[in-house]
Structure 1
Amino acid sequence: MYLRALTIIFTLCVLGLGQVQMASATSGSAETAEGQFGEQKSAFNEAFTGYKNARDSYSTAKKELDSTKSKTRQRLLEKAKTFMLHADRSAIKYLDVLKVRVEQVNGIPEDKRSAMLAEINKDSDWLLKTQTDIEEAKSIDELRDIAKRFREHWRNYRGASKRMAGLILHEKLGVMIVRAEGASSKVSEMVVTLKSQGKDTRELEGLLSDFNEHIDIAKKKNEDARPYFESIPMAGETSSSFQEGMKLIRDAHLELKEAHSALSDISKELQLVAVEN
């Protein structure tokens, strides 16, 4: 039962990569960061493929088990060990992917970044120790006990993983909002200058108002999302908090897209007003 449960766990790992990938770096080193993320993701995919092959091999050996033959039982034990070692290594690779994201994404306060990395390193160390336990197991029953601990540990870590992914997205969106607010301030200064020159800025002011409204809504939704992510327990089953937080993040992102569209209209209007007699 516990060995079969690992299949479900690592399917969740693969799906989890999609959430982590959303939190991409936005600085000048983004290309380098994406390259590092891609390398870690490829390593995880390779490890996950090895895990699936080992799982299938173990399942085949289990079907062929003859309880009266010690050699057959020994072969099953070795297949089970290989299966679980691949599962353990896949989990470590998954954490490596998450670690790169936490290290590279902009906007996370350093104390929070350090706390996230410490949590990831702690789980990686636990998984490394578990590899030794697997290798030293003398029976299928011992492996079942290890698989049970593994399942419970990874189920607990799901909360920490989603909490981190959500907070990374929140901080990244916050950086984008700050940049948008900076653009708004610059446009406001231009409006004042043009107005002092006797230019008609009514259309420009209307567009700027729309732009600011989208930014304000995005900022509010992003701020509202944070408590949902922070309320996700670091251990145990996750609640609906992650989904609620992600809905707000998606809504905030859509508002920023609308703001970007409004900024394009502002740019065009600025050019028209500037050449106006």
Structure 2
Amino acid sequence: MSTAVTIWLAIVLAASAAVKARRPARSSAALATYGITGAAARPAAVALISIELSIAAALAAQLPWAPGAAVALFGCFALATGAALLAGRRGRPCACFGSDSRLGSSAPLRSGALAAAAGALALGWLPAAPSSYDRWLTVALSLSAVLSGALALAVVALAREVGVLRLGMSAGGALEIPQEGPAVGSEQRWARSSSPGPRAMLRLAIFTSEACPLCRQVAPAVEHVAADPLVAVEILDEVLAAETWRAAEIPGSPYAVALTLEGTVLAKGTFNGLGQLESILGTARFRERERPLAA
């Protein structure tokens, strides 16, 4: 029992560190949920990854201090996530397993359960494997379970991608809901933070997320539109541009907002392909032509 718990704790810590290290910039930005911002975010993320990897390696090597260190680390995670929930930050990136994970009520419970498991291991409450054969068998079964889980996730991801491909074949226009996103005709100060090109006639803000498979699907369409010198395209990531997302009240991704060069919203909507993205631009051009008449 103790061998299995040790292995799973090491796997959890190693997986968490690996996901964070895969996208260090986004992982650093996710620490803003806990008040770590600016120049301190990157060193804090590096330190967290290093600590997780060190404790995972120590658990795998069965060093005597490793379970106690795991208790302290998971306990800190439980306190930090609980405090963030009390501060009203539910739904923000929690940096638990990279920047894609979100802060919810399960986060402190999960960390608390892991701390309890590590505590039971540190106190010697769990029975040890009677022989080296049993220990190696436990290791093999644990790794087999991990690989089976990874295969299941891959199958689910493939099924989602197939659905995304079918969705991307839709020929309808973009979905513009008046109650979602910035109001048409409103001024958006965040839109003026970047300088458009000398030939640009419209701004196009693309709201995207790393956790969104459809965003990856429509990336070529966004690149195609961005190649047009008449359109100033700005891509706003859910984590790296979280304040802009909140200011614009973006309902989800992928989402596009077409604006004048001065930052007035002309058109908006969720899109799933090049045709729908161009429909947003077409609506924006039409409304821009109508603006002088309305005045």
Shorter-chain-normalised TM-score: which range?
0.3 to 0.5
What TM-score do you get using the length of structure 1 for normalisation?
0.37
- Higher share in strand: 2
What TM-score do you get using the length of structure 2 for normalisation?
0.35
Larger Rg: 1
